[in-house]
């Protein structure tokens, strides 16, 4: 534990870390500028995942002090970041989250630009390890959601999604070079969707009580400029059960189904630091996926916690094939958490995950996986 503490403290020196797979989380430091209505915070960043290796960068977060959700006291804010990783990836991200009508309406938007060298093994639950091939992809992505609060804890609204994925380099003679994989050269996703959620969590970063039930339906259409038409449906069910004063049992069921002419960039990606720790993000991809995971969290000191987790999941071309026993992919692991500041609910997370057939990963980032 002493050695682990030293490692954590060294890694914490930038005071900002992200590591939620391809999703970013931030820890706040000193305020750089503040006016009566606006507060600006600088964000140095460092993180590690198997997909990105080490990443560094910086950004900022601007809070609109007079624009607050009165129901949970969350501030409207605009978050932006620029990141470079030792895997050669470059990412720039802007995420506005704006509350209107004192919290009765919510605008959740995102713009992402990235140059992302990645790995591809093919499509399906049984792709062999020797299939791995590298490819480079440049992406512009925009998401805009407008949600209406339905008291007391329901939210419903509509979204627009746009993504332009340009595959700039593939391995000669590989699967992506063959032309048999939809999206192997370029993909545009463009379409409307709807989202509905029930959120009673006591904390969005590291909840210890409550539930999150979320349903999403998204449609990509050639009428709106997409290169192919397909539909995506997602179901995310989470529960946080207190077990005494120091322990929490967190559980999640996540299901994703895609129908139509689905490019590989729009398929379900299995793995990563949130849904299937122990597997490379995108090690298995297909039209359909499920992940069931549980995590026991024990806060043995006010600012220290331990966690142990287990999961099962799979991908398949047909949803009926998801339950085939020979395609189930188990995972397990453990980790340690440290609360960065006494009066702020931000936790640093270090996890070690293991999957089947020698798959494994180390994940260092911010807040819980789910």
At 296, phi and psi to the nearest 5? -100, 125
In a 3-state reduction of DSSP, which class is residue 51? coil
- For residue 10, pLDDT over 70 is answered with no
Q: What is the mean pLDDT of the chain?
A: 88
- Residue that is written with structure tokens 């032309």 in the block: 179
CA-nearest of 157, 217, 219 to 192 is: 219
- For residue 250, pLDDT over 90 is answered with yes
CA angle 5, 8, 11 (to 5 degrees): 150
Per-residue model confidence (pLDDT) at position 8 = 40
- For residue 344, pLDDT over 90 is answered with no
Per-residue model confidence (pLDDT) at position 60 = 86
Comparing 367 with 191, which gets the higher pLDDT? 191
Name all contacts of 126-135 with Cβ < 8 Å and 24+ positions apart: 126/327, 127/284, 129/357, 131/175, 133/170, 133/171, 133/174, 133/175, 133/176, 134/171, 135/167, 135/169, 135/170, 135/171, 135/174, 135/176
pTM to 2 decimal places: 0.86
Name the residue ranges covered by the structural domains of the chain.
2-366
Per-residue model confidence (pLDDT) at position 147 = 94
Q: Which helix (H) or strand (E) holds 4?
A: helix 2-11
Per-residue model confidence (pLDDT) at position 87 = 94
pLDDT band at 140 (very low <50, low <70, confident <90, very high): very high
Domain 2-366 listed as CATH 2.40.160.50? yes
Q: Which helix (H) or strand (E) holds 6?
A: helix 2-11
Per-residue model confidence (pLDDT) at position 319 = 86
- Residue that is written with structure tokens 């007079």 in the block: 66
- Residue that is written with structure tokens 């999957």 in the block: 355
Cis peptide before 60 (omega within 30 of 0): no
Query: What are the tens digits of pLDDT across the range 93-102?
Result: 999 999 988 8
Per-residue model confidence (pLDDT) at position 355 = 95
Per-residue model confidence (pLDDT) at position 342 = 77
What CA–CA distance (Å, rounded) separates 116 from 349? 24
Q: Express as a percent the part of the chain with pLDDT over 70.
A: 89
- 1-10, 214-223, 274-283, 323-332: which has the minimum mean pLDDT? 1-10
Q: Which helix (H) or strand (E) holds 214?
A: strand 210-220
Query: What are the tens digits of pLDDT across the range 53-65?
Result: 898 998 888 888 7
Comparing 79 with 263, which gets the higher pLDDT? 263
The string of DSSP codes covering 311-326 is EEEEEESSGGGGG-GG
Per-residue model confidence (pLDDT) at position 324 = 82
How many Cβ atoms are within 10 Å of 70's Cβ, its own excluded?
11
The distance from CA 236 to its chain's CA centroid, rounded to whole angstroms, is: 13
Per-residue model confidence (pLDDT) at position 365 = 79
Per-residue model confidence (pLDDT) at position 236 = 98
CA-nearest of 206, 197, 265, 204 to 234 is: 197
Query: What are the tens digits of pLDDT across the range 11-53?
Result: 443 433 333 344 444 444 444 455 678 888 887 888 888 898 8
CA angle 243, 247, 252 (to 5 degrees): 80
Query: What are the tens digits of pLDDT across the range 163-195?
Result: 999 999 999 999 999 999 999 999 999 999 999
15: exposed, middle or buried (Cβ count in 10 Å: 0-12, 13-18, 19+)? middle
342: exposed, middle or buried (Cβ count in 10 Å: 0-12, 13-18, 19+)? exposed
In a 3-state reduction of DSSP, which class is residue 14? coil
245: exposed, middle or buried (Cβ count in 10 Å: 0-12, 13-18, 19+)? exposed
């Amino acid at each position: 534990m002493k050695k682990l503490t030293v490692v954590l403290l060294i890694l914490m020196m930038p005071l900002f870390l992200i590591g939620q797979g391809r999703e970013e989380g931030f820890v706040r430091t000193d305020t750089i500028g503040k006016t009566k209505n606006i507060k600006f915070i600088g964000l140095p960043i460092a993180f590690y995942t198997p997909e990105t290796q080490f990443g560094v960068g910086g950004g900022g977060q601007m809070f609109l002090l007079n624009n607050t959700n009165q129901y949970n006291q969350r501030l409207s804010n605009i978050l932006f970041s620029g990141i470079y990783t030792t895997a050669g990836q470059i990412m720039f991200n802007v995420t506005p989250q704006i509350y209107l009508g004192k919290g009765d309406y919510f605008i959740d938007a995102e713009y992402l630009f990235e140059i992302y060298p990645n790995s591809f093994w093919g499509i399906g639950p049984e792709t062999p390890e020797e299939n791995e091939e590298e490819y480079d992809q440049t992406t512009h992505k925009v998401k805009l959601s407008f949600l209406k609060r339905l008291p007391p804890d329901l939210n419903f609204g509509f979204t627009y999604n746009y993504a332009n994925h340009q595959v700039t380099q593939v391995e000669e003679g590989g699967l992506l070079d063959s032309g048999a994989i939809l999206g192997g050269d370029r993909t545009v996703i463009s379409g409307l969707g709807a989202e509905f959620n029930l959120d009673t969590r006591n904390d969005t970063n590291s909840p210890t009580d409550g539930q999150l039930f979320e349903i999403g339906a998204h449609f990509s259409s050639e009428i709106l400029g997409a290169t192919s038409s397909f539909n995506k449906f997602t179901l995310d069910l989470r529960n946080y059960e207190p077990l005494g004063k120091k322990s929490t049992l967190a559980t999640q069921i996540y299901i994703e189904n895609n129908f139509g002419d689905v490019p590989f960039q729009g398929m379900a990606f299995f793995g990563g630091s949130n849904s299937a720790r122990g597997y490379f993000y995108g090690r298995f991809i297909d039209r359909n996926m499920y992940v069931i995971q549980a995590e026991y969290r024990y806060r043995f000191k006010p600012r220290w916690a331990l966690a142990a987790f287990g999961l099962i999941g799979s991908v398949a071309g047909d949803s009926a094939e998801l339950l085939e026993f020979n395609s189930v992919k188990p995972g397990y692991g453990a980790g340690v958490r440290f609360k960065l500041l006494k009066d702020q609910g931000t936790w640093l997370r270090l996890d070690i995950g293991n999957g089947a057939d020698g798959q494994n990963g180390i994940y260092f980032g911010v807040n819980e996986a789910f």
